[in-house]
């Protein structure tokens, strides 16, 4: 464990400014109608009939899975990539369903489609979750084609891809139902939060009914939220980020599996903070795009098919030669405060205490990704010098 005092880059960041906090507090006093307005703006931008704002991406997943299950009560398995965010199995298990895993295709962060085809034959399968990991678009169309006329839903996990596009289509709207996360370190953040989008009447109406009874944040929880936002808005800057990083109870940058999380409606404070979300997303995206292109300019390619322009990556993933190289890079990055992160530490079947996985194959490509992946920070708080320093450190270790 390296203790560094001095400029330290966070691995991902969507900064929150004083004016966001001010409009959040204004939203707090306006109440529920500000949340409705946020949902209406999203519906019109994404051209979908239903949008619901909740307390996290995980909460969004729980609601969606329960709604889908109401349509096909005999189906209880959820098929996800064997390498993904631990929040996904946390939510599936919280909702009472079984996790089914599909290995990844070599050199990508997307499904191995030959394996996917086999997995789709399970008669208990409720839905498949293609995932735009780190903002890299997954091939949702191909999943839909494979499913063809079967009664299996496509749930698009765009948690890390709000504002992203693929072939002129907006990510989040490609499946039967989609979700975004507004958590820390996502494409756009209100500290925590999740959004559900669907144009499917059946799914939309069930969600509408289920969400009608859901409580929002109480006053005390809202106050806690406001205090956390104020703290984060300062502590996320590279000149001070070393400080919260030294505090182990904050668990910064750690990935853990935890099916116990609150499920609420988004608060009016958060909806207020999200005011002018579209402009903010475009600004964050523009800053990331400069850094993504700079890194790509060094001849470094992220895993995945990159047809034409580089995607709106929120962290730039790189598969390095082997796990020794990965460890060496992470140690150097810690010492130098460069913000390089190791991605999720293992494939989903390797999570301690996960239980409940309905297909016990092995997932060698997902394991290999976990061993070799690093992610480079590209957010708006990176200076030109930060990118240069990082690439200088990486260059001798990436060329092999």
- Rule CB under 6 A: which of 150-169 touch ligand PLP? 157, 159-160
Residue count, binding to ligand PLP (CB under 6 A): 14
Closer of 336 and 348 to ligand PLP (Cβ): 348
Q: Does 375 bind ligand PLP (CB under 6 A)?
A: no
Question: How far is it, in rounded angstroms, from Cα 213 to Cα 309?
Answer: 44
Instruction: Give me the least distance between CB of 386 and ligand PLP, in Å please.
Output: 23
- Contact window for ligand PLP (CB under 6 A) among 17-25, 82-90, 201-209, 223-231: 82-90
Give dist(CA 242, CA 335) in Å, integer.
11
Long-range contacts of 25-30 (CB under 8 A, 24+ apart): 25/226, 25/269, 25/272, 26/272, 27/268, 27/269, 27/270, 27/271, 27/272, 27/273, 27/275, 28/222, 28/226, 28/267, 28/268, 28/269, 28/272, 29/268, 30/268, 30/272
Positions in 214-253 near ligand PLP (CB under 6 A): none
User: Which of 324, 371, 353 is closest to 104 using CA atoms?
Assistant: 371
Beta carbon of residue 191, minimum distance to ligand PLP (angstroms, whole number)? 10
Spatial contact of 201 and 177, defined as CB atoms under 8 Å apart: no
Nearer to ligand PLP, 85 or 95 (CB): 85
**Of residues 90-149, which lie at the interface with ligand PLP (CB under 6 A)?**
131
Residue in the block written with tokens 């690093």: 374
Instruction: Map residues 47-76 to x or -, x wherever contact with ligand PLP holds by CB under 6 A.
Output: ---------xxx------------------
Residues 22, 163: Cα–Cα separation, whole Å: 24
Q: Smaller CB distance to ligand PLP: residue 23 or 56?
A: 56
Residue closest to ligand PLP when measured from CB atoms: 57
Q: Footprint of ligand PLP on this chain (CB under 6 A)?
A: 56-58, 84-85, 87-88, 131, 157, 159-160, 181, 183, 194
């Amino acid at each position: 464990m390296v203790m560094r005092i001095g400029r330290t880059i966070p691995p991902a960041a969507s900064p929150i400014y004083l004016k966001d906090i001010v409009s959040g507090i204004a939203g707090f006093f306006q109440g529920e109608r500000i949340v409705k307005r946020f949902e209406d703006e999203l519906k019109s931008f994404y051209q979908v009939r239903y949008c619901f704002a909740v307390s996290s991406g995980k909460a969004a997943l729980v609601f969606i899975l329960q709604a889908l299950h109401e349509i096909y009560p005999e189906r209880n398995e959820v098929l996800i990539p064997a390498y993904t965010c631990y929040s996904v199995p946390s939510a599936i298990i919280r909702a009472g369903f079984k996790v089914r895993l599909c290995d990844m295709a070599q050199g990508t962060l997307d499904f191995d489609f030959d394996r996917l085809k086999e997995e789709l034959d399970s008669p208990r399968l409720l839905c498949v979750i293609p995932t735009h990991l780190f903002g890299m678009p997954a091939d949702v169309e191909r999943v839909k084609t494979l499913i063809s006329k079967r009664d299996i839903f496509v749930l698009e996990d765009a948690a890390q891809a709000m504002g992203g596009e693929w072939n002129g289509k907006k990510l989040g709207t490609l499946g039967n139902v989609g979700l975004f996360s507004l958590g820390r370190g996502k494409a756009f953040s209100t500290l925590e939060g999740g959004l559900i989008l669907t144009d499917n009447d059946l799914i939309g109406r069930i969600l509408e009914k289920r969400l009608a009874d859901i409580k929002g944040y109480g006053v005390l929880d809202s106050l806690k939220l406001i205090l956390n936002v104020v703290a984060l808005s300062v502590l996320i800057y590279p000149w001070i980020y070393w400080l919260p990083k030294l505090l182990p109870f904050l668990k910064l940058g750690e990935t853990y599996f935890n099916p116990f999380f609150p499920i609420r409606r988004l608060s009016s404070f958060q909806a207020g903070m999200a005011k002018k979300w579209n402009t903010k997303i475009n600004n964050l995206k523009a800053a990331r795009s400069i850094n993504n292109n700079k890194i790509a300019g060094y001849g470094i390619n992220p895993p995945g098919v990159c047809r034409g322009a580089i995607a709106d990556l929120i962290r730039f993933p790189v598969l390095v030669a082997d796990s020794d190289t990965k460890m060496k890079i992470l140690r150097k990055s810690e010492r130098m405060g460069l913000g390089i992160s190791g991605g999720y530490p293992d494939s989903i079947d390797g999570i301690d205490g996960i239980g409940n996985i309905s297909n016990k194959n092995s997932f060698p490509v997902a394991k290999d990704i976990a061993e070799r992946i690093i992610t480079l920070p590209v957010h708006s708080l990176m200076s030109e010098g930060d990118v240069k320093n990082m690439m200088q450190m990486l260059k001798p270790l990436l060329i092999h």
